[in-house]
Structure 1
Amino acid sequence: MLVAMLILGISLTGSAQDATALKYAATINAQDLEKHLTYLASDELEGRDTGEKGQKLAAEYLANFYQNLGLKGPVDGTYFQKFNLASTSFPEVTLTVGKQKLVNNEDFVFIGDGSMKKAAKADLVFLGLASEENMKKVDVKGKLVGLWAIGARAQNVVSDIMKAGAVGVIVVTMEGQANFDRLAGRYKSLSGRGRLGFEEPTKQEPIFLVSSDKMAALFATPVEVLKEAAKNNPESIKAQKASYFVKKETKIVPTENVMAFLEGTDKKDEILVISSHYDHVGINSKGEINNGADDDGSGTVSVMEIAEAFALAAKDGKKPRRSILFLNVTGEEKGLLGSEYYSNNPIFPLANTVNNINIDMVGRIDYEYQNAPNKDYVYVIGSEMLSSHLKVINEYNNITYTNLILDYRYDAEDDPNRFYYRSDHYNFAKHNIPVIFFFNGVHDDYHQPTDTVDKIEFPLMTKRAKLIFHTAWDLSNRENRTPVDGTNTRTER
């Protein structure tokens, strides 16, 4: 790291501190963070579910805040990038195999697409693993296909089988009935709300997820026998007669990204994007509000405080050289939808977007650090993939100003949690924009009604926000933009 800093002309001495940056970083404080978060994570906002009343109230709060700071609304003079999503529900889905009539969201979970006028019939064949050898042994064309996709990228495997001519798929992706039951319970609680996404033409792709035990029952074969057959001799498993039906309903859901713009000086055509998602998961099936204080109320109020620090500097004649877009996106919890929409419909050209700093959950202490003697940490993800400079710049600012533990454990390409793919920086990185993602890790309150303001570590969150501000100040004022001299090796979610 020292060598890299010297190459970039960065000093490690205390005199390297920028007095102006320190002055405005000091405006980021725990009291303001708590004030904003207390509102955004309040019951009044009902969990900020995408397209719902609480999300709209949060959007108005953010826009009013940015307007009061004197920041510009960059979307035809407004702070809202409005767009439509489609809420798709399947009020009736049936699946019968032999004489077994399965129950939706108990015996199976429907994860596909389709809209049918009447039930269809097909042979259910067992393919097991989607290997070339198995594909030669089992004819899948025109068939409903049983897949054993434990440990595989099920989405890719299912796609390959459908392309091979299958009419549908019944797939096992996990071991253990208890794991499946938890998933089915979650789908059942969400079934009345529909799946939110971009409107697309209907695909006749009936895809059913079942447990390993249920798959064995469908083929009247013990689990261990079926598991062995999946590897080498799937043709030994007798085909079954099946029928299925899918009814689909779609409604349009308007929503909006919120953004504010600070124009730079001599490098104003180059844009630094500082982002968070301000949506959460709403109200659960028991009527309990998921307030989302950490996820991602913490990131959202951090963006607000960082925006205020830059706005105050600008009022004092200390504008950044590059322009900054403060971007609060919607629909992250539904599949990174708001950031996907922005990256496909950018307000400022992506070619001019120099970096994305993304903040998602920075208010808590996770399992790994809850018993650590030093809890002043933050996870940093994605910072060295596309630019050799970005990680070094962030580390320099940390050494100079905040002295946090920068933990890179979740930056590994084989991270089983796949955190890199689960927040909004992904939709900038896929366009080869160098990104850096700040994250505090997961805890027992993740996506639970217990993710509340009283559990936020405001002093630690303040320190994390100050690090992000200093890194943003550096990136927006340095002579050269960070080079794109790396390769995006993580292009597929």
Structure 2
Amino acid sequence: MKKVLLCALTLNLISCGAHQPKNVENADVMDFATTINADELKDHLYIFASDEFEGRETGEPGQKKAAEYLKTEYKKLGIPSPLGGDDYYQEVPSSAFRGSVKESENVLAFIEGSEFPNEILVISSHYDHVGMDDQGNIFNGADDDGSGTVAVLEIAEAFMTAKEKGYGPKRSILFLNVTGEEKGLIGSKFYTDNPVFPLTETVANLNIDMIGRTDIAHEADGNYVYLIGSDKLSTELHNLSEEVNAKYVNLALDYTYNDENDPNRFYYRSDHYNFAKNNIPIIFYFNGVHADYHKMTDTPDKIRYDLLEKRARLVFLTAWEVANRAERPFVDKAE
């Protein structure tokens, strides 16, 4: 009997060992990056930017369906909410909005860090869009910002796959899908005004808003992404980003819109800015404006899924480096 029990115990320990934390420096990060693939991004986006979601206008039924879709996908991946239990929503009351916008929700999922659990990396996108017009025409928002939102889902899956193989991140990661971006960055402002985790312990924000298309300046060669804000607060974060891209992805990093004198002022126009205002280093990933921006023609069939895959992998690989370095990105400038 003792031999039987000993064997059973040994087998149990071996089985459990597959889930024990391993040295993350020994991981082949590309094994996890390649789980982010064009086919899965396309499958998600054809649902998320479908007519069923009615343009995902903040506070309207289509936005509620989109929030439920995100919650369901995080639960399928086994990624918990930082709010506990089945509650993946940070409620954003109507009083947070100007005008008559209805109450809405940020959607949050969370992977706890193995060594620095109190230090938080935020990976964000906005999942709302502009809804429908008076004739019932639907603005699907496939690129804006369906592309960023499905990228966050795939990045979350890549991190969870790594964790299940024993290579969980050293720092905690908050996957933050915010509402109300189209209403004035309201969802991200509400989060930074009412943070689930202290902003002083939030080490960086990687924000993804429109990464599925090309603009006129890059029609001949789509192998690029605009980076905005990477050097505004942390030279170290900027250098880390450059190094990761050169090592793994080799996209052309275009800093045109990072110029403080650029009239578009994109640095101030997406959700990362509410983190930057709090001296949290950020990178904003963006493909530029195209002819279908905020039009009914921003549909999933227009997306370059090969580019979406490559850009999403860049965000993941950058996040991996931020999450697993010995030190958080050093802030050497102030907003």
What's the TM-score once normalised by structure 1's chain length? Answer: 0.62
SS at match of 1:328: strand
2:127–2:149: 8 Å Cα contact kept in structure 1? yes
1:418 equivalent in alignment to 2:265: yes
Q: Equivalents in 1 of 2:47, 2:238: separation in Å?
A: 34
Q: Tell me the equivalent position of 1:198.
A: 97
Alignment of 1:165-314 (within 5 A): 198=97, 253-314=102-163
2:108–2:175: 8 Å Cα contact kept in structure 1? yes
Q: Equivalents in 1 of 2:81, 2:241: separation in Å?
A: 29
1:24 equivalent in alignment to 2:32: yes
Q: Equivalents in 1 of 2:47, 2:275: separation in Å?
A: 29
Q: Equivalents in 2 of 1:69, 1:418: separation in Å?
A: 36
Alignment of 1:1-400 (within 5 A): 20-77=28-85, 78-86=87-95, 198=97, 253-370=102-219, 372=220, 374-400=221-247
Q: Equivalents in 1 of 2:131, 2:165: separation in Å?
A: 40
SS at match of 2:320: helix
2:228–2:257: 8 Å Cα contact kept in structure 1? yes
- The alpha-carbon distance between structure 1 residues 395 and 18, as it changes in their structure 2 partners (threshold 3 A), is farther
Q: Equivalents in 1 of 2:51, 2:28: separation in Å?
A: 39
1:84–1:252: 8 Å Cα contact kept in structure 2? no
Q: Equivalents in 2 of 1:271, 1:333: separation in Å?
A: 26
- After superposition, the C-alpha distances for 1:410-434 in whole angstroms (9 at most, x for unaligned) are 0011110111111000000000000
Structure 1: gaps (5+ residues): 1-16, 87-196, 200-249, 489-493
Q: Tell me the equivalent position of 1:437.
A: 284
Q: Equivalents in 1 of 2:94, 2:185: separation in Å?
A: 12
2:58–2:101: 8 Å Cα contact kept in structure 1? no
Q: Tell me the equivalent position of 1:451.
A: 298
Structure 1 residue 18 displacement after superposition: 7.4
Structure 1 residue 447 displacement after superposition: 0.1
- After superposition, the C-alpha distances for 1:16-49 in whole angstroms (9 at most, x for unaligned) are x975211000100001000110111000100000
1:404 equivalent in alignment to 2:303: no
- After superposition, the C-alpha distances for 1:98-143 in whole angstroms (9 at most, x for unaligned) are xxxxxxxxxxxxxxxxxxxxxxxxxxxxxxxxxxxxxxxxxxxxxx
2:97–2:183: 8 Å Cα contact kept in structure 1? no
- After superposition, the C-alpha distances for 1:307-341 in whole angstroms (9 at most, x for unaligned) are 00001111111100000000000000000000000
- After superposition, the C-alpha distances for 1:272-322 in whole angstroms (9 at most, x for unaligned) are 000000000000233210000000000000000000000111111110000
Higher strand share: 1
Structure 1 residue 252 displacement after superposition: 6.6
Q: Equivalents in 2 of 1:452, 1:18: separation in Å?
A: 41
2:225–2:286: 8 Å Cα contact kept in structure 1? yes
Counterpart amino acid of 1:454?
D
Structure 1 outlier segments of 4+, above 3 Å: none
1:387–1:483: 8 Å Cα contact kept in structure 2? yes
2:67–2:107: 8 Å Cα contact kept in structure 1? yes
1:256–1:329: 8 Å Cα contact kept in structure 2? yes
Report percent identity of matched pairs. 58
SS at match of 2:102: strand
CA RMSD of superposed structures (Å): 1.3
- The alpha-carbon distance between structure 1 residues 456 and 268, as it changes in their structure 2 partners (threshold 3 A), is same
Q: Equivalents in 1 of 2:134, 2:304: separation in Å?
A: 29
What's the TM-score once normalised by structure 2's chain length? Answer: 0.90
Structure 2: gaps (5+ residues): 1-24
Q: Equivalents in 2 of 1:18, 1:280: separation in Å?
A: 41
Structure 1 residue 76 displacement after superposition: 3.7
Q: Equivalents in 2 of 1:406, 1:392: separation in Å?
A: 12
Counterpart amino acid of 1:36?
H
Q: Equivalents in 1 of 2:209, 2:100: separation in Å?
A: 29
SS at match of 1:378: strand
Counterpart amino acid of 1:335?
G
Q: Equivalents in 2 of 1:468, 1:258: separation in Å?
A: 19
- The alpha-carbon distance between structure 1 residues 22 and 254, as it changes in their structure 2 partners (threshold 3 A), is same
- After superposition, the C-alpha distances for 1:146-192 in whole angstroms (9 at most, x for unaligned) are xxxxxxxxxxxxxxxxxxxxxxxxxxxxxxxxxxxxxxxxxxxxxxx
- After superposition, the C-alpha distances for 1:469-492 in whole angstroms (9 at most, x for unaligned) are 10000000000100111121xxxx
1:480 equivalent in alignment to 2:321: no
Please tell me whether Structure 1 or Structure 2 has the larger radius of gyration of its CA atoms: 1
Q: Tell me the equivalent position of 2:20.
A: none
Count, aligned residues: 310
